[in-house]
Amino acid sequence: MAAGLLAAPRETPAGERHAGTVLAVDAQARTLTLDEFAANAERRALRVRVPREAIVLLSQRNQSGRDLNDAFRDSTLTLADVRLGDFVVVELSSDPEVARLVMITLRRGAGS
């Protein structure tokens, strides 16, 4: 299974959103690698570059929120704050290998 994850990634269309579990974070090289399920439930590793101008957020449920406008709180983070095992949503820029947004939606080890 691990060998399949490390296979050469396929072409990823620009402007798409991808979600998966963080396999690797390289804050120096500004890259992020995800384990995601692609089309036809095919598991693959997606590696993207995260430029300094990209937005990195932690989105957490607001337990005291009274409506949909107040249901989540977003906190700005840095790429170095992203941890192995975090579940993230990545929105790509016009370049299919570059993220414009990385949002952590579930921290590793956090309950739902």
Least confident of 5-9, 25-29, 55-59: 5-9
pLDDT range class, residue 74, cuts 50, 70, 90: confident
Question: Does residue 111 sit within a domain?
Answer: no
Beta partners for residue 32, in sequence order: 25, 48
CATH of the domain at 56: 2.40.50.320
Per-residue confidence (pLDDT) for residue 1, from 0 to 100: 45
Pick the residue with more confidence: 62 or 17?
Answer: 17
Number of domains in the chain: 1
Q: Is the residue at 112 inside a domain?
A: no
In terms of average pLDDT, the best of 11-25, 39-53, 68-82 is: 39-53
Q: For residue 41, give the DSSP letter.
A: G
65: pLDDT confidence band, cut at 50, 70 and 90?
A: low
Domain assignment present for residue 83? The answer is yes
Contact predicate 56/78, CB 8 Å: yes
Specify the higher pLDDT residue, 2 or 43: 43
Tell whether 58 is covered by a domain: yes
Q: What is the pLDDT of residue 73?
A: 82
| DSSP reduced 3-state for 70 | helix
Across the range 37-53, mean pLDDT stands at 90
Query: How far is Cα 100 from Cα 112, in angstroms, rounded to an integer?
Result: 26
Task: Identify the domain containing residue 99 by its residue range.
Answer: 2-8+15-106
